Structure 1
Amino acid sequence: MDKPAEMFDRDFEWSALTRFITDEQPGATLGVVSGRRRQGKTFLLDAACRAAGGFYFGATEAAGAESLRRISAALTEHSRPASAYHFADWAEVVDALLALGGERPVPVVIDEFPYLVKAAPELPSILQEALRPLRRQRTESRTRLLLCGSALSFMGRLLSGSAPLRGRAGLELVVRPLDHRMAAEFWNITDPRLALQVHAVVGGTPAYRREFARGDTPKGPGDFDDWVVRTVLNPETPLFREARYLLAEEPELRDTALYLSVLAAVADGNATRGGMAGYLERKATDIAHPINVLEDAGLLHRDADVFRDNRPTYRIAEPLIGFYHAIMRPVWDQLERPGSATRVWRASGRRFVSNVLGPHFEQVCRDWALHHADPELFGGLPARVGHGVVHDPAARTGHEVDVAVVGVAEGSGKPPLLAIGEAKWNDTMGAAHIERLAHIRDLITRSGRYDTGRTRLLCFSGAGFNSRAAQAAAADPAGVHLIDLPALYART
């Protein structure tokens, strides 16, 4: 299948769909496609159906009878049978879908599958029976059935545990947001500092540029503030209320006020359960459920402390939601008044840097170390990259490590700590930062948890490095590395 020329990137996803859809082996097969809203799943699957002559059906929130009428009409229009379809139940629908692949592999997409299951909870069990290995309708069909949904909590349970469809799927594809480098290319931004600023606000969601901002991109570094005012903070644009709608669209989030407060606590810098509980003036046990639900919905991400067990921290997974809670929600009434955005944004600069841009820069540095950096930089392949706090017994304090690169343990030995790093968005880094990292490395060595024999020191800066830092790196080219914004955006 030829990928449409207007589709940006998604080479991996298109290749996976192509292999699944064009598989010539007999027997109907099942695939599951998921991902947060606005990532282009519908565009991707609809394009695949058009390329391979398949059938696409987009479900809506409706009663079961209405959904049966809609899919009957859609399948009638697609197949042009002698008499129109009038399905009495979902078992008849599934058999008709399997019949589409009687002569060749045919993709059949059911988009927003959770809407159908909400009205017909028996649907996964019907599919389980229809895809039974020795059932004639399955063995004589080459339908490539793709179930798609944006409700991550629901889609995550579809193939797990004792779910009816566990073990039935031959494809499980997650359509993720574009990473910081691809997002810069998509927004047509070549300046790395501007690219990271934009990414800290809208992340890598494709729809935010094309549909929500109507193609409006910052014209240069000097246009960033005006761009924020005329797009995200503008009540006339869809981006203005998008963060609120993302929460409202999640079926698992029933008590919206509580979930909003949990996210607000994280956006305000309360990244631990105890911190969130204190912010909300509740017991930590009282917020365990909303935290778990937000995690399942893909809105909150749990990060384990690399140096301390059972001390996880949490971060907001969608940048636009983090921006909303840090900048917009506290002054929502003002922003709704036309003409107030410029004044609000001018007064929010410090909060944007400390609560949005700084933490986002740290996370981009961790993502770069895990997914993009040359393993030779660390002297080995990272097994995981995280952050944490290293305890200093003598000073009775803790030292935060923004980037910790852990390698693969050999045999029963301790896992190697390949690198530790510090990330500063607005600070010009110098020799003192390198010395601090060396001291932290000594503390980790004394703790005995990791093998620090080859631990390298990384300095990430959005503002650059002074001459003393450059001299220290030049004196120890294998042990000290200075990584600036162009390096984070460079193609490897």
Structure 2
Amino acid sequence: MRGEVDKPAAMFDRDYEWSALSRFATDPQPGATLGVVSGRRRQGKTFLLDAVCTAAGGFYFGATEAADPESLRRISTALTAYGSPPTPYHFADWFEVVDALLALGRDRPVPVVIDEFPYLAKANPELPSIIQQAFRPLRAERSESRTRLLLCGSALSSMGKLLAGNAPLRGRAGLELVVRTLDHRLAARFWGLSDPHLALRVNAIVGGTPAYRKEFARGDSPSGPEDFDDWVVRTVLSPETPLFREARYLLAEEPDLRDPTLYHSVLAAVAEGNATRSGMAGYLERKAADIAHPINVLEDAGLLHRDADVLRDNRPAYRIAEPLVGFYHAIMRPVWDQLERPGAAGRVWQASRRRFVSNILGPHFEQVCRDWASHHADPDLLGGLPAKVGHGVVNDAARRTGHEVDVAVAGIGDGLKAPLLVIGEAKWNDVMGMGHLDRLRHIRSLIAQGGRYDTASTRLACFSGAGFTDELRALAAGSDPDVLLVDLAELYGDLGA
């Protein structure tokens, strides 16, 4: 039977990831197995993997940027310290290393972690093929071992290629785990925030990356709504804190980003509201074909995310996946020289708050609303289980315009047409009323005319960070079951206030 090891008390959440890793690490079945763990930087992957090795008596090796002979010497020393063999290891090549790792699991299941694996593969591109050869199904060294080898890395583009297409390790892995950022609810709890209005503003800047609170901000969290502005000034905008330059470093650490200037410009275009390829190309004064490659690279690196238009095919919109990068490009990069001067952060932030609301808070609130519909909303509340959640644009030929839909939720279709469960509008700073509802009713009628979706049961959702008029609340509570009102308390659930 598979077992699990106890999760460290100091580890926040990560129950799913810990369960998957511990079951893989303690799997008693014969035969060595391979797992791949990936995720953006600063998410706590090393903490997770090191903790699993400690709990299960495994071996952990953290690779560094080094030439191949140096890495061989380092892992020789590390394995000698771990296994205490009669004579120290002196590996001549990676074939010997992998066989030594397989030998660790002769008597019991042993987790073996190679962290930052892309560093090793960059220095020795043959390494994935060497592991493939070592893990051949009928090879005695594998069949007689219960080593649970975990390859981990933060360079998403490199890790994604390990198991793709005709890659040597394609089909060899028994575990593929992505360690994701904390969602908005977990992030609020992690930062110790019980006020959802404050929690969303903090989340719009630092997202759900655990390291940004513990290491980068040294545990400094806003003490309350009145402390938010001071917190921004003393942490994110202060040249003395690691958060100040983090957005720049995130790009510099990606191995496939060879021209940082171009990639920063693409991200700046998105931060300015240019969410389509044509919009980005116009902002950069280039042809759309010229920016296809940097867009794809930024997607592979996990810094840019492509959102499909639920209501139209082949009309994706792009958003910056890491909030801190979006904040840097919208607020910090345009006045970088000023921010580097001591004492300038307060003045810069005072002048940037309106831009923060329009360029950062508004779009982030919309994304949180979509995330809520995807992962937190009761399907009964939405009218069914979501199949696709995103944004949308509806053409209005009579008025010669297009209507943007902030939240569009499509269900699973039993027949020719899938049901459109919800269309919604999200307003961070506006008290929503009957005008917003009338607009959604008109949009629903246009979608019905288009014939793509079944709109017979489509609910009309108003998402607001500022509240709703009494008239709209009364309508939602009484006479119109199609109206759905979602406020910050609903989006965040119970924060333990």
Is the TM-score greater than 0.5?
yes
Question: TM-score, normalising length from structure 1?
Answer: 0.99
Partner of 1:433: 436
Partner of 2:102: 98
Aligned mates of 2:470, 2:123 — CA distance in 1: 65
Q: Is contact 2:309-2:391 (8 Å) kept? A: yes
Aligned mates of 2:12, 2:361 — CA distance in 1: 26
**Aligned-pair CA distance for 1:478:** 2.5
Q: 1:12 aligns with which of 2, 16, 21?
A: 16
**Aligned-pair CA distance for 1:210:** 0.3
Aligned mates of 2:147, 2:77 — CA distance in 1: 19
SS of residue paired to 2:99: helix
Q: Is residue 2:215 matched to residue 1:180?
A: no
Partner of 1:468: 471
The code of the aligned residue for 1:430 comes to: G
What are structure 1's unaligned runs of at least 5 residues? none
> Cα deviations across residues 340-372 of structure 1 (Å, max 9, x unaligned)?
000000000111001000000000000000100
What are structure 2's unaligned runs of at least 5 residues? none
**Aligned-pair CA distance for 1:304:** 1.2
**Aligned-pair CA distance for 1:491:** 4.6
Aligned mates of 1:82, 1:377 — CA distance in 2: 65
Q: 1:224 aligns with which of 205, 208, 228?
A: 228
Q: Is contact 1:406-1:419 (8 Å) kept? A: yes
Partner of 1:241: 245
Partner of 1:423: 426
SS of residue paired to 2:341: coil
Q: Is residue 2:487 matched to residue 1:484?
A: yes
Q: Is contact 2:429-2:464 (8 Å) kept? A: yes
**Aligned-pair CA distance for 1:477:** 4.9
Partner of 2:454: 451
SS of residue paired to 2:387: strand
**Aligned-pair CA distance for 1:9:** 0.2
Q: Is contact 2:310-2:388 (8 Å) kept? A: no
Q: Is contact 2:33-2:147 (8 Å) kept? A: yes
Q: Is contact 2:34-2:173 (8 Å) kept? A: yes
The code of the aligned residue for 2:163 comes to: L
SS of residue paired to 1:460: strand
Q: Is contact 1:431-1:472 (8 Å) kept? A: no
Q: Is contact 1:302-1:313 (8 Å) kept? A: yes
> Cα deviations across residues 391-427 of structure 1 (Å, max 9, x unaligned)?
111100011000000000114x211100100000000
The code of the aligned residue for 1:13 comes to: E
Partner of 1:70: 74
**Aligned-pair CA distance for 1:474:** 2.2
**Aligned-pair CA distance for 1:471:** 2.1
Partner of 1:279: 283
Partner of 1:270: 274
Q: Is residue 2:193 matched to residue 1:189?
A: yes
User: RMSD value over aligned CA atoms?
Assistant: 0.8
> Cα deviations across residues 141-190 of structure 1 (Å, max 9, x unaligned)?
00000000000011111111000000000000000000000000000000
Matches within 5 A, 1:311-326: 311-326=315-330
Q: Is residue 2:256 matched to residue 1:255?
A: no
Q: Is residue 2:346 matched to residue 1:342?
A: yes
SS of residue paired to 1:416: strand
Matches within 5 A, 1:149-164: 149-164=153-168
**Identity within the alignment, %:** 78
Q: Is contact 1:31-1:172 (8 Å) kept? A: yes
- Structure 1 consecutive aligned stretches of length 4 or more whose deviation exceeds 6 Å: none
Q: Is residue 2:122 matched to residue 1:114?
A: no
SS of residue paired to 1:454: coil
Partner of 1:208: 212
Aligned mates of 2:120, 2:480 — CA distance in 1: 58
SS of residue paired to 1:285: helix
